[in-house]
């Protein structure tokens, strides 16, 4: 095994500062999870190449993950990406190149709001089974409650990375586009509906997914039956995106419709997105930057009469766990 393929137990910064990386690793449902606060404190030293130090730590982490999962997985890198998977080298390299390509396209599409830290590689984990995937993401969920089904997840907990389940690359590409969009706007304090609406629309454009108009009509009817002034508060707070019933899918779809409407005036949309805050569902930014009532906008987006009663009411929200 080449020296660079051995999971490092200590890391050395360009100025000589050493980190005991093995001491920073904790067990998380059978996976080694670094204490990223300690790791980033080491990486972010004055006068050093922070991106290089962070990449060094992330590469070491992926190699420890590889060893913890039995060694069948391996790390493939490009200038802008690291991918841990059990794909054969050709497929893994294609995935890493797709990640690199999508980074550039997202920054172009989301001009003014989408960005990636200069010099830092994007990190992707591809698990062999659904069991391993959910066991890993359980590290970032509350201990109780059900999981809403997902094909991928962006995790912004110390080390921004995204995870998926092993599949044909054509199936993974939309997942990569969606989760990397989340990565690109993670520096903003977006309400969940806005974050997901941007991700769904960007995924559709990057993965070239054609619209099914018959399905769209059926979906609109479902919206009319499901949403009420009370339930729509779950949408604005982000709670409905964690549902395990049809409300989960309808939340993503309504977010898509709203962002599609707002995005038609891109300069105004970027001003709104930069000002929107998770704490109030974006209601203040919509009023100040766009002169719009979000409740009326949401109703319009799904073909209903204007509903002022649908406006976000943060004071009524039940406190929920911060998402990963």
Residue in the block written with tokens 């990386």: 21
46 burial via Cβ count (<10 Å: 0-12, 13-18, 19+): exposed
At residue 263, φ and ψ (nearest 5 deg) are -70, -5
Can you list the residues of the chain whose pLDDT is less than 50? 3, 320-324
Count of Cβ atoms closer than 10 Å to residue 61 Cβ: 27
Given a contact cutoff of 8 angstroms between Cβ atoms, the answer to whether 235 and 275 are in contact is no
pLDDT at residue 273, as a whole number:
98
Closest to 123 (Cα-Cα) out of 168, 74, 160: 160
How far is residue 106's CA from residue 253's CA, in Å, rounded to a whole number? 20
Global confidence as pTM: 0.91
pLDDT at residue 45, as a whole number:
84
pLDDT at residue 47, as a whole number:
81
pLDDT at residue 4, as a whole number:
62
| CA-to-CA dists, residue 18 to 10, 54, 73, 120, 290, angstroms | 7, 13, 28, 20, 50
Q: Which pairs from 130-136 meet CB under 8 Å and 24+ separation? A: 130/165, 132/69, 133/163, 133/164, 133/165, 135/29, 135/30, 135/31, 136/28, 136/29, 136/31, 136/163
**pLDDT per position as a tens digit, 237-254:** 999 999 999 999 999 999
How far is residue 165's CA from residue 153's CA, in Å, rounded to a whole number? 10
């Amino acid at each position: 095994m080449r020296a660079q393929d051995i999971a490092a137990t200590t890391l050395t910064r360009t100025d000589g500062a050493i980190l005991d990386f093995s001491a920073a690793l904790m067990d998380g449902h059978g996976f080694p999870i670094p204490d990223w606060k300690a790791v980033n404190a080491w990486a972010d030293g004055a006068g050093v190449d922070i991106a290089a130090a962070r990449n060094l730590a992330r590469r070491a982490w992926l190699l420890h993950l590889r060893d913890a999962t039995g060694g069948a997985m391996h790390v493939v890198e490009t200038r802008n990406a690291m991918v841990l998977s059990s794909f054969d080298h050709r497929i893994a390299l294609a995935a890493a190149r797709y990640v690199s390509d999508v980074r550039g396209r997202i920054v172009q599409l989301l001009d003014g709001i989408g960005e990636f830290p200069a010099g830092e590689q994007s990190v992707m984990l591809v698990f062999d089974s659904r069991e391993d995937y959910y066991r890993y993401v359980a590290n970032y969920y509350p201990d109780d409650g059900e999981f809403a089904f997902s094909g991928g997840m962006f995790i912004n907990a110390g080390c921004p990375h995204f995870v998926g389940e092993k599949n044909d690359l054509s199936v993974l590409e939309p997942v990569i586009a969606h989760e990397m969009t989340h990565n690109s706007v993670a520096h903003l304090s977006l309400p969940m509906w806005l974050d997901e609406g941007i991700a769904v629309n960007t995924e559709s454009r990057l993965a070239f997914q054609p619209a099914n108009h018959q399905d769209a009509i059926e979906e609109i009817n479902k919206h009319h039956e499901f949403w009420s002034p009370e339930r729509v508060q779950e949408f604005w707070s982000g709670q409905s995106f964690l549902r395990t019933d049809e409300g989960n899918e309808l939340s993503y779809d309504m977010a898509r419709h709203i962002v599609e409407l707002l995005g038609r005036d891109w300069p105004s949309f970027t001003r709104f997105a930069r000002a929107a805050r998770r704490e109030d569902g974006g209601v203040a930014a919509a009023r100040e930057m766009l002169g719009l009532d979000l409740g009326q906008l949401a109703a319009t987006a799904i073909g209903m009469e204007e509903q002022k009663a649908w406006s976000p009411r943060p004071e009524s929200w039940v406190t929920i766990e911060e998402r990963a």
